[in-house]
């Protein structure tokens, strides 16, 4: 990079030197016959604004100094760039190490999560086992209670089967009228259509009945095996 820059600067300097304006009138061609005084005549005929050789050499020295300074700056820049590249390389290596550390951390977190999940599952399994044990105990208790109730019902049915029959009586309600009639017997209401009959079986003893719109509430007593007729009809 430095040699190319130096060539470019030298080329620019030569162009600047060659571009000094010298008109055709200021520089005349030397006659062939001129000999010893040729140089003096050429110097005398130079334009007043032309620069002497010493001045041009001074400018060349300054340009070379500036060129050397630029070359030094370029070298310093190259050194700085090299250092930056080295730093970037070190940073890249550090980033790679960080990436590997992050990967290891992710793996560790995954392992920790797996362990935690296993612990949570084990705890949940233990809770479920306890709930199942409680349900089994409750089911056992309810089964025993149900079996006891079934045994009691069966025993009561057996006792009832072998018990003497209860003395019963019968109430017959008959509607011989052409309109529906409502009758209440022992606080139970029956509605009978024309020609309908309702038989009511009950234990012997006192009962009450009422024919709505016909007969107010009355009380009667039935003996065992007796039948009582309530007939609704025109007189």
- CATH of residue 181's domain is 2.60.40.780
Quote the CA–CA distance of 25 and 47 in Å, as a whole number. 9
Is residue 214 over pLDDT 60?
A: yes
Q: Are residues 187 and 85 in the same domain?
A: no
Is residue 38 over pLDDT 50?
A: no
Instruction: Please check whether residue 44 lies inside any domain of the structure.
Output: no
Q: Are residues 81 and 125 in the same domain?
A: yes
pLDDT level of residue 215 (50, 70, 90 thresholds): confident
Ramachandran angles phi, psi of 233, nearest 5°: -160, 165
| Total residues belonging to the chain | 235
Of the residues 117, 143, 163, which one is the last residue of a structural domain?
163
Is residue 23 over pLDDT 60?
A: no
Of the residues 119, 148, 163, which one is the last residue of a structural domain?
163
Quote the CA–CA distance of 216 and 209 in Å, as a whole number. 8
Cα distances from 77 to residues 73, 74, 88, in angstroms, run 6, 5, 16
Domain range spanning residue 106? 52-163
Q: Are residues 85 and 115 in the same domain?
A: yes
Instruction: Please check whether residue 32 lies inside any domain of the structure.
Output: no
Question: Hey, which bits of the chain come out as E strands?
Answer: 168-175, 181-185, 188-192, 197-203, 205-211, 215-222, 227-232
Strand order in the sheet with 205-211: 188-192, 181-185, 205-211, 215-222
Instruction: Please check whether residue 46 lies inside any domain of the structure.
Output: no
Q: Which two tokens stand for residue 177?
A: 């009228």
Q: Are residues 154 and 175 in the same domain?
A: no
Quote the CA–CA distance of 126 and 128 in Å, as a whole number. 5
Ramachandran angles phi, psi of 101, nearest 5°: -65, -40
Most confident of 15-19, 20-24, 92-96: 92-96
Is residue 234 over pLDDT 90?
A: no
Is residue 28 over pLDDT 50?
A: no
Domain count for the chain = 2
Mean pLDDT of the 177-187 span: 93
Contact 1/81 with Cβ under 8 angstroms? no
Quote the CA–CA distance of 193 and 182 in Å, as a whole number. 9
Q: Are residues 176 and 136 in the same domain?
A: no
Quote the CA–CA distance of 12 and 6 in Å, as a whole number. 10
Mean pLDDT of the 48-56 span: 60
Q: pLDDT digit string (tens) for 103-140?
A: 888 888 888 778 888 888 888 888 888 888 888 888 88
Of the residues 111, 132, 163, which one is the last residue of a structural domain?
163
Q: pLDDT digit string (tens) for 65-75?
A: 888 888 888 88
Instruction: Please check whether residue 39 lies inside any domain of the structure.
Output: no
Contact 208/219 with Cβ under 8 angstroms? yes
């Amino acid at each position: 990079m430095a040699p190319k820059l130096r060539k470019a600067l030298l080329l620019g300097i030569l162009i600047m030197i060659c571009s000094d304006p010298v008109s055709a009138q200021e520089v005349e061609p030397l006659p062939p016959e001129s000999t010893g005084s040729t140089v003096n005549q050429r110097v005398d005929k130079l334009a007043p604004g032309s620069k002497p050789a010493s001045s041009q050499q001074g400018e060349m020295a300054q340009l070379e100094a500036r060129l050397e300074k630029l070359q030094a700056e370029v070298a310093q820049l190259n050194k700085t760039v090299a250092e930056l590249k080295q730093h970037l390389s070190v940073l890249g290596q550090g980033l790679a190490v960080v990436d590997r550390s992050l990967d290891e951390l992710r793996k560790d977190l995954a392992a920790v999560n797996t362990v935690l999940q296993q612990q949570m599952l084990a705890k949940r399994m233990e809770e479920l086992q306890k709930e199942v044990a409680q349900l089994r105990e409750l089911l056992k208790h309810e089964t025993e209670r149900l079996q006891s109730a079934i045994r009691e019902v069966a025993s009561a049915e057996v006792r009832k089967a072998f018990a003497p029959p209860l003395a019963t009586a019968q109430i017959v309600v008959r509607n011989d009228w052409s309109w529906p009639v409502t009758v209440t017997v022992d606080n139970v209401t029956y509605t009978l259509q024309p020609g309908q009959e309702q038989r009511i079986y009950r234990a012997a003893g006192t009962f009450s009945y009422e024919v709505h719109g016909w007969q107010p509430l009355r009380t009667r007593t039935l003996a065992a095996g007796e039948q009582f007729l309530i007939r609704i009809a025109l007189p």
